[in-house]
Structure 1
């Protein structure tokens, strides 16, 4: 599917991120996903980042973007707008 569809972003599922950085298999898979995506010219987003150690691992291995509770909790659209208006 990576070759057939016009995909330019690849997301790493939280099930792999949960085991970072201590889970060796999760770490190996995550590094492979990042390397493969970058070699295909894709941006990599990791979801479910909840700890600083996970964020550090992903940054160290070149993950382009992250999302998760470490950075912020989900909020309704009106709260998102209000938070940008306060900036």
Structure 2
């Protein structure tokens, strides 16, 4: 086993997220989890 981790970007629906988790994707990123924010909004919230 290579012990690789996989990232899926551009996930826009919970159905996509469920499918990707089912097929072994380890990390998900996309609009379904959070909308894009400006740098100022990012700094204010994090």
Specify which structure has the bigger relative contact order, considering alpha-carbon pairs within 8 angstroms and separated by 6 or more residues: 2
What's 1:61 paired with?
A: 23
Structure 2, unaligned runs of 5 or more: none
RMSD: 1.3
Larger radius of gyration: 1
**Larger fraction in helix:** 1
Report the alpha carbon displacement of residue 70 of structure 1 after superposing the two structures with TM.
0.5
Structure 1, unaligned runs of 5 or more: 1-38
Report the alpha carbon displacement of residue 65 of structure 1 after superposing the two structures with TM.
0.6
State the TM-score, normalizing by the size of structure 1.
Answer: 0.47
Equivalent pairs, count: 46
**Larger fraction in strand:** 1
